[in-house]
Amino acid sequence: MPKITFIGAGSMVFSAKLVGDILSFPELDDSTIALMDIDADSLEKTARVAEAMVANEGLKATVESTTDRAEALDGADYVLNMINVGGTEPFENEIRIPKKYGVEQSIGDTIGPGGIFRGLRTIPTMLDIASDIEELCPDALLLNYTNPMSILCQTMFEATDVETIGLCHSVPHTVEAIADYVDIPQEDLDYWVAGINHVAWFLEATHEGESIYPALRDAMEDPDIYERDTVRFEMMDHFGYFPTESSHHMSEYVPYFRTRAETIEEMTGTDYAERMPTATYLEGWQERSERRDDPDLDVDLDEVSVERSEEYASRLIHSIETDTTRRLNLNVSNATDAITNLPSDACVEVPVLVDGTGLHPCSVGDLPASVQTFPQQHVAVHRLVVEGALKNDREKIHRAVKQDPLTAAALSLDEIHEMTEELLTANEAYLPELN
């Protein structure tokens, strides 16, 4: 059975969830699970949980752990990537410096100054991982969970020979939300979703053959439901389609919601800082880091069991290993022109058929005119970031930040230039050497 390697396995909660997903399939329960992280203490905690799963459930799987990436990758069939490069300092810089200038990022890991600089500091390590894969397990499939998803996957498509797929849980989470809003069973919602990661759209959403959009618009009129997802309901109301990313996330991908506090107050009647505060992901990450560094495991190993979550990785691996056909929304190269009004070198999030023969992106055609501009804007930024990183081109990084929709709505060109220079200086130790 397959060897499945986790790079960045020190993130115990997420890694343990994915290990449990894999082991929940009887056909995969004798896999070799190779856990790798540069943080030996965090890695040990994840390994203990994974070993407890195997022991408690009486499974045949083998759990290995190592701080040596080459050892973990040697002979791997699948590589799950969930690394975080640089730790707290650059993350804080990516949020605090833009905030000082007036760019209010809620998450800052996908696009905007935060996403761009997170991508820049992660790309060199991704290329190192790719080099190891090409040498030690050239036929392995890389399943990337690390953000910024589109920037990193596009880099891998362009600069490596590693077969790469990007995985994100925003689509199943949105399915759960929509089903709740219109009061239907989640499993009965049929959908067709496409765009780019975090900026994709429910182009179709049906229940028993009928569109649920009329019911979703009715649900929007309920103040209690509306206030649970203000930005996404507003985007649907004005542009016709429900987006895949949470309101908190979506608010920083477009120029409408995060430049004036009164806009949010008028729209929701809720205090701006409470509804969509700045830096919530950073602060939550810091809290989780403190808990992770606690010497006590804080997990009852006797109670650890195998459960299957909504994450796609285990289903994808199971489909390939058992030739079971599934349709999953994944991040892939647009080389097949799955979305015909986005560039063929973009990373797109589309329905993909997965079976024993591999991955087969579905043809979506054109995105509707009312929403196509949003991913097109971000794809242009992604292109500049990837070129800037691969060619060590400082000017392309400046141009990427200047074309970000939220940044452009908040600052002048000169202010953006000054902010970018400050970010480059503050994060110099974590970035590729730019000319």
pLDDT in tens, 212-246: 999 999 999 999 999 889 999 999 999 999 999 98
Q: Are strands 78-81 and 62-66 parallel, antiparallel or unpaired?
A: unpaired
- How open is the CA angle 21-27-32, to the nearest 5 degrees? 70
- Confirm whether 69 is domain-assigned: yes
Which H/E stretch holds residue 5?
strand 3-7
d(CA 181, CA 1): 41
On whether residue 341 sits in a domain, the answer given is no
What amino acid positions are annotated as catalytic residues?
169
* 75 close to 3: Cβ distance less than 8 angstroms: yes
Domain membership flag for residue 410: no
Under the banding of pLDDT at 50, 70 and 90, the label for residue 294 is: low
Q: What's the token pair of residue 252?
A: 């920083």
Q: Is residue 109 part of a domain?
A: yes
Residue 292: which pLDDT band, with cuts at 50, 70 and 90? Answer: low
| Domain extent at residue 119 | 3-166
Q: Is residue 315 part of a domain?
A: no
CATH number at residue 147: 3.40.50.720
Average pLDDT, the chain: 92
pLDDT digits (tens, 9 = 90+) for 123-143: 999 999 999 999 999 999 999
In total, how many domains does the chain have? 1
Does residue 373 lie in a domain region? no
Q: 325 and 354 in contact (C-beta within 8 Å)?
A: yes
Instruction: Please state the pTM of the whole predicted model.
Output: 0.94
12 assigned to some structural domain: yes
Q: What is the mean predicted confidence (pLDDT) over 90-100?
A: 94
**Across residues 54-72, what is the average pLDDT?**
97
With bands split at pLDDT 50, 70 and 90, how would you rate the model's confidence at 12? confident
In a domain, 70, yes or no: yes
